[in-house]
């Protein structure tokens, strides 16, 4: 008597059939029921409820029909609904019974398809649902098994994974499903269909899975029509198998079943469901798949086949690979990794199979697919395929859909691996093909905490390449990314206070390198636009976080030892704007840009403007003398005004010196300042001026008598000793 185990041994004859590619799987309703679909009993009750709720039958008729068998009841309900013009209600009722339980942590269809893939044999199902379809290529799904094309179909059924719907498919053709007694009789008396089944049972060893008491009739229909040659092998042993659930202790029941099935040429393979319930079927199939992987050359042979096909693409043979990777994630990973060596010919077939749709896909699948797309982008770039070709248009469409997916779900720009791959894909696009949405995505990626160091070099290299190759379009794309910023917040634990800090998207050392090594080339190519874009970034920083670009963060506009403790990122923005404006005034005589900075509200722009006037005083002095307000009164401008006076006062006319003296004498001072403090402040301003002027000297002596002593660190409100 057979022992009922949780995981039964895989019969040796099945292993032999598997190795000879002569095994077929017959899948019944028990599989769908285990995955959450309704069984025959529930379907029949559902249809009876519909007949009652639509008023086709009375309550009395409803009660009388309740005790009929599911098959009878389904046939009766079909007739009632059809004859009352409510066919759609019949199909809707069935469809509602075929929905999966998505909370299950396993998928029988995947395990079954994986099993069939290992021996490249057919799965024949009497189920009318479409739950197998995601694991099969469309070309490998057979719906018509009773038409004149069956002979061609029989030729197809060689060593190939196929799904055959012998009772039709509700999704494909609802009128063609076999669900009632009349339809069973018609289908199983069809000569073409009988030829098909006879071929399967004669040429293959069949393993029945998901067939229970409710489907004995189906087995009778299938098996009893044929002679003994399709039921037993040459030695008289049962040729076929059925996998059935039992409780331990049900050995007697198993023995009775064996007697029944033996007459049908079927040997029972029992498995115990004491612990796992009906879900134990998944564990059995999973274990069998592992056993087959360990005992056969399936994995090795599949890898060799994949490698050969990747380098020598063949449309017909590729179908076999696509079928294989649908059910074996390890082989899918190997396929995508190997595919990087020859990505171009595979792109269109993958696109046709919706391979690049990420909805409902695992992060592993998404990462592998992005890695392939990155290799494809590089290959297309190197082979000059990124033009107006149809293939490149499709590639752009794929990338756009990926970006839309990220905008909806936010999964990709927050995953480090996906970040790296997306940046790589976008950076391989031609500069003219990089759009605002691409730049927006890269900014989102750079704003993630992990991205600053990881991608700084790649994005900076792209910008510097644009400079070297004089690609203005590329500069337009990448300036806002390379010099962009993110805001990090730090919440104090013990007080209700949050501090916000501005951080660069790209590591600041790269910003220094750009200014130092590429500054002049950048200015020649893109100077006014560069100044504008950097000013936009600075404005955003000012609007986002209070007290930015103050003289504590930016001690001087010029390079000076006191800038040692400046904010490095803010300084680089200021220094690059400064250098660009020096170039623009020097080379292009663009004085208007300096005037526009002087009119800005924030002091940092006025400071830069004053610094440029200091450098080009002869050309720009009118801008200084036409200032509406006393520049000495604004302490945030102190250093730049002081330097301008110190460096250029020898060129001032008597009227201009008088104006400076007026500024000094009328400057507002804090009422709490002492007379000595005010005198010292005025003395510092006078110290900056050319002392050949008699009035200036008199005033200096006057204030020196009130606040005697040497002036410490002229031109600075704050001085740090290092």
Which tens digit of pLDDT belongs to each residue from 538-564? 999 999 999 999 988 999 999 999 888
| Interacting residues of 285 by C-beta distance below 8 A, sequence separation 6+ | 108, 111, 112, 115
Burial pattern 401-424, b for ≥16 Cβ within 10 A else e, equals ebbebbeeeeebbebeebbbbbbb
CA atoms within 13 A on the CB side of 80: 23
Residue 226's pLDDT band, with cuts at 50, 70 and 90, is low
Residue length of the chain: 722
Which tens digit of pLDDT belongs to each residue from 608-646? 999 999 999 999 999 999 998 999 999 999 999 999 999
Q: Quick check: 442 pLDDT over 90? A: no
pLDDT of residue 302: 84
Mean pLDDT over the full length of the chain: 88
| Interacting residues of 137 by C-beta distance below 8 A, sequence separation 6+ | 319, 322, 323, 326, 353
Which tens digit of pLDDT belongs to each residue from 159-173? 678 899 999 999 998
pLDDT of residue 33: 93
**C-alpha pair distances (Å), 260 with each of 233, 242, 256, 267:** 18, 12, 7, 10
Region of poorest pLDDT, from 187-201, 223-237, 295-309, 416-430? 223-237
What tokens does 373 get?
Answer: 């797309």
Residue 112's pLDDT band, with cuts at 50, 70 and 90, is very high
Say which DSSP state 357 is in: -
What tokens does 218 get?
Answer: 């189906």
**C-alpha pair distances (Å), 171 with each of 94, 131, 140, 317:** 11, 10, 16, 28
Which of 303-317, 332-346, 430-444, 598-612 ranks highest by mean pLDDT? 598-612
| Interacting residues of 435 by C-beta distance below 8 A, sequence separation 6+ | none
Say which DSSP state 562 is in: G
Distance of CA 483 to the CA centre of its chain: 25
- How many other CB atoms sit within 10 Å of the CB of residue 567? 19
pLDDT of residue 21: 84
Residue 534's pLDDT band, with cuts at 50, 70 and 90, is very high
- How many other CB atoms sit within 10 Å of the CB of residue 651? 11
What is the mean pLDDT of the segment spanning 19-27?
89
User: In whole angstroms, what is the distance from residue 323 CA to residue 305 CA?
Assistant: 13
What percent of the chain has pLDDT above 70?
93
Which tens digit of pLDDT belongs to each residue from 460-518? 888 888 888 888 887 888 898 899 999 988 776 666 777 889 999 889 999 999 999 99
CA atoms within 13 A on the CB side of 302: 25
Exposure of 577 by Cβ count < 10 A (0-12 exposed, 13-18 middle, 19+ buried)?
A: buried
Instruction: Say if residues 25 and 205 touch (Cβ distance below 8 Å).
Output: no
Exposure of 124 by Cβ count < 10 A (0-12 exposed, 13-18 middle, 19+ buried)?
A: buried
Residue with tokens 């200014």: 515
State whether the Cα torsion 301-303-308-312 is positive or negative.
positive
Return the CATH number of 12-37+106-295, one of 1.10.1060, 3.40.50, 3.40.630, 3.30.70. Answer: 3.40.50
What percent of the chain has pLDDT above 90?
49
Which tens digit of pLDDT belongs to each residue from 378-413? 888 888 877 667 888 899 999 999 999 988 888 787
Which tens digit of pLDDT belongs to each residue from 298-313? 788 888 888 888 888 8
**C-alpha pair distances (Å), 514 with each of 457, 511, 539, 574:** 11, 5, 22, 14
User: In whole angstroms, what is the distance from residue 55 CA to residue 86 CA?
Assistant: 11
pLDDT of residue 679: 94
Say which DSSP state 356 is in: T
Q: Give the Cα-Cα-Cα angle 39, 41, 44 (nearest 5 degrees).
A: 105
Instruction: Say if residues 178 and 34 touch (Cβ distance below 8 Å).
Output: no
* Domain regions of the chain by residue span: 12-37+106-295, 42-96, 442-628, 642-721
pLDDT of residue 153: 67
Which tens digit of pLDDT belongs to each residue from 182-198? 888 888 888 888 888 88
Task: With CA atoms as reference, report the closest residue to 379 among 331, 335, 346, 418.
Answer: 346
Residue 52's φ and ψ, nearest 5 degrees, are -70, -45
What is the mean pLDDT of the segment spanning 643-668?
94
User: In whole angstroms, what is the distance from residue 14 CA to residue 115 CA?
Assistant: 12
pLDDT of residue 444: 81
Say which DSSP state 228 is in: G
- How many other CB atoms sit within 10 Å of the CB of residue 103? 6
pLDDT of residue 155: 64
For 715, the 3-state DSSP assignment is: coil
Residue 318's pLDDT band, with cuts at 50, 70 and 90, is confident
Residue with tokens 């790209």: 506
Q: Quick check: 232 pLDDT over 70? A: no
Beta bridge partners of 271: 245
Burial pattern 188-212, b for ≥16 Cβ within 10 A else e, equals bebebbbbbbbbbbeebbbbbbbbe
pLDDT of residue 579: 98
User: In whole angstroms, what is the distance from residue 207 CA to residue 265 CA?
Assistant: 11
Torsion of the alpha carbons at 230, 236, 242 and 246, rounded to the nearest 10: 160
Q: Quick check: 450 pLDDT over 60? A: no
């Amino acid at each position: 008597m057979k022992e009922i185990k949780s995981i039964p041994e895989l019969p040796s004859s099945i292993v032999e059939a598997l190795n000879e590619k002569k095994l077929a799987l017959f899948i019944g309703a028990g599989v769908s029921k285990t995955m959450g679909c309704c069984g025959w009993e529930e379907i029949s009750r559902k249809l009876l409820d519909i007949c009652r709720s639509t008023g086709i039958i009375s309550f009395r008729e409803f009660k009388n029909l309740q005790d009929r068998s599911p098959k009878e009841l389904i046939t009766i309900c079909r007739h009632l609904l059809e004859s009352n013009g409510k066919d759609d209600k019949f199909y809707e009722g069935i469809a509602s019974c075929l929905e999966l339980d998505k909370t299950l942590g396993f998928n029988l269809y995947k395990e079954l398809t994986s099993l069939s893939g290992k021996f490249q044999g057919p799965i024949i199902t009497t189920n009318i649902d479409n739950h197998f379809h995601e694991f099969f290529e469309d070309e490998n799904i057979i719906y018509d098994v009773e038409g004149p094309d069956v002979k061609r179909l029989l030729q197809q059924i060689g060593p190939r994974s196929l799904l055959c719907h012998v009772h039709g498919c509700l999704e494909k053709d609802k009128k063609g499903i076999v669900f009632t007694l009349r339809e069973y009789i018609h289908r199983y008396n069809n000569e073409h269909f009988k030829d098909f089944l006879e071929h399967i049972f004669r040429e293959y060893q069949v393993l029945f899975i998901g067939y229970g008491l409710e489907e004995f009739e189906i087995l009778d229909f299938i098996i009893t029509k044929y002679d003994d040659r399709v039921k037993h092998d040459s030695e008289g042993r049962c040729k076929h198998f059925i996998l059935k659930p039992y409780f331990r202790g049900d050995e007697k029941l198993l023995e009775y079943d064996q007697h029944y099935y033996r007459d049908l040429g079927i040997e029972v393979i029992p498995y115990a469901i004491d612990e796992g319930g009906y879900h134990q079927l998944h564990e059995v199939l999973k274990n069998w798949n592992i056993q087959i992987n360990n005992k056969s050359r399936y994995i090795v042979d599949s890898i060799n086949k994949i490698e050969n096909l990747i380098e020598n693409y063949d449309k017909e043979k590729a179908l076999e690979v696509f079928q294989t990777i649908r059910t074996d994630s390890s082989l899918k990973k190997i396929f995508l990794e190997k595919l990087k060596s020859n990505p171009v010919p595979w792109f269109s077939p993958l696109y046709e199979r919706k391979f690049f749709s990420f909805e409902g896909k695992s992060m592993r699948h998404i990462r592998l697919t992005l890695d392939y797309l990155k290799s494809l982008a590089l290959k297309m770039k190197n082979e000059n395929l990124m033009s107006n070709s149809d293939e490149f248009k499709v590639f752009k469409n794929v990338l756009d859909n990926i970006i839309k997916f990220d905008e909806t779900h936010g999964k990709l720009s927050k995953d480090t691996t996906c970040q790296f791959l997306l940046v790589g894909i976008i950076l391989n696009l031609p500069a003219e093909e990089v759009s605002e949405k691409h730049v927006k995505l890269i900014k989102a990626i750079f704003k993630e905490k992990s991205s600053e160091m990881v991608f700084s070099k790649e994005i900076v290299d792209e910008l510097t390449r644009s400079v070297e190759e004089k690609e203005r379009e590329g500069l337009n794309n990448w300036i806002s990314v390379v010099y962009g910023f993110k805001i990090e917040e730090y919440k104090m634990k013990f007080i209700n206070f949050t501090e916000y800090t501005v951080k660069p998207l790209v590591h600041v050392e790269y910003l220094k390198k750009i200014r130092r090594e590429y500054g002049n080339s950048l200015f020649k190519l893109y100077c006014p636009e560069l100044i504008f874009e950097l000013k936009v970034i600075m404005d955003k920083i000012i609007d986002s976080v209070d007290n930015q670009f103050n003289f504590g963060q930016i001690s001087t506009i010029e390079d000076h030892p006191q800038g040692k403790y400046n904010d490095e990122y803010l300084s680089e923005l200021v220094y690059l704007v400064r250098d660009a404006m020096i170039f623009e005034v020097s080379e292009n005589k663009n004085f208007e840009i300096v005037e526009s900075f002087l009119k800005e509200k924030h002091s940092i722009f006025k400071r830069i403007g004053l610094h440029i006037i200091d450098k080009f005083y002869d050309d720009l002095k009118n801008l200084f003398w036409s200032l509406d307000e006393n520049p000495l009164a604004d302490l945030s401008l102190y250093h730049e005004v002081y330097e301008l006076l110190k460096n250029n006062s020898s060129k001032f006319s008597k009227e201009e010196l008088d104006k400076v003296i007026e500024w000094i004498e009328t400057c507002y001072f804090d009422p709490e300042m002492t007379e000595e403090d005010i005198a010292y402040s005025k003395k510092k301003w006078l110290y900056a001026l050319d002392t050949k002027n008699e009035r200036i000297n008199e005033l200096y002596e006057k204030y020196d008598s009130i606040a005697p002593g040497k002036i410490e660190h002229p031109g600075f409100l704050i001085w740090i000793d290092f």
